[in-house]
Amino acid sequence: MKQSAAEILREYGPFPDIAQVHGLTFDGENVWFASGDKLNALDPETGKTVRSMDVAAHAGTAFDGQHLFQIAEDRIQKIDPKTGDVLTTIPAPGGGDSGLAWAEGTLWVGQYRDRKIHQIDPETGKILRTIESKRFVTGVTWVDGELWHGTWEGDESELMRIDPQTGEVLEKLDMPPGMGVSGLESDGGDQFFCGGGNSGKVRAVRRPRR
């Protein structure tokens, strides 16, 4: 297993009237982040929020190229990013749903204290398979066939790449003490966006080169 310190490239926020950043995703242009009762679009170039939509947003966020998916309470909402309308909802897999990612036509849901990642059917919410991680799972993301998730327990937080078959930890990026990762998304290139929980911040972290 490779282990190194996470390199923080940039910090965004805190933003006015936003106390916490839960899940986040990237639509190719803006970072969408959940802040409890709003989804907010952040332009990572300027660092300014450009839009916000009133929608319950308590944990993970994902983007399938067309729609936003957002966990609220015990369900996953499918949202039209143009109007902010909730189109459909499916049940979330379990009690402690945390991170959310889109990949291979399915949704991936992190369960925080259960240390699990479920792959679910985006139409029905049916669990297709479950990966056991060794650590608390916050944000989840797929990039170039790599499965990454955030973990946050007390003062310690890390980004970890795990084997999607066995759950074995392959690589670890240690966040600086006191900096937590509540949501995770790659920009498809060489950086991750991380939700900073109660710091109210969004951070960009360098993704290790292959």
Binding range to another protein, per CB under 8 A, among 1-9, 46-54, 150-158, 202-210: 150-158
In the region spanning residues 59 to 78, those forming contacts with another protein, defined by CB under 8 A, are: 59-60, 71-74
Q: Is 134 in the site for another protein (CB under 8 A)?
A: no
Q: Give 124-146 as a DSSP string.
A: T--EEEEEE-SS----EEEETTE
Q: Is 8 in the site for another protein (CB under 8 A)?
A: no
Q: How far apart are CA 137 and CA 169, in angstroms?
A: 12
Binding range to another protein, per CB under 8 A, among 8-16, 53-61, 78-86, 186-194: 53-61
Phi, psi dihedral angles at 133 (to 5 degrees): -100, 170
Is 21 or 209 the residue whose CB approaches another protein more closely? 21
Q: Is 70 left (phi over 0), alpha (psi -120 to 50) or beta?
A: beta
Q: How far apart are CA 164 and CA 134, in angstroms?
A: 13
Q: Is 22 in the site for another protein (CB under 8 A)?
A: yes
Question: In which residue are the tokens 């039209």 written?
Answer: 80
Q: Is 125 in the site for another protein (CB under 8 A)?
A: no
Cβ 127 to another protein shortest distance, Å: 16
DSSP for residue 200: -
How many CB atoms sit inside 10 A of residue 100's CB? 32
Q: Is 132 in the site for another protein (CB under 8 A)?
A: no
Cβ 122 to another protein shortest distance, Å: 17
Query: Which of residues 155, 163, 168, 190 is near another protein by CB under 8 A?
Result: 155
Are 31 and 11 in contact, with CB atoms under 8 Å apart? no
Residues, the chain, total? 210
> Which residue ranges make up the site for another protein (CB under 8 A)?
20, 22, 36-37, 56, 58-60, 71-74, 92, 95-98, 112-113, 136, 138, 152-156, 178, 180, 182, 197-198
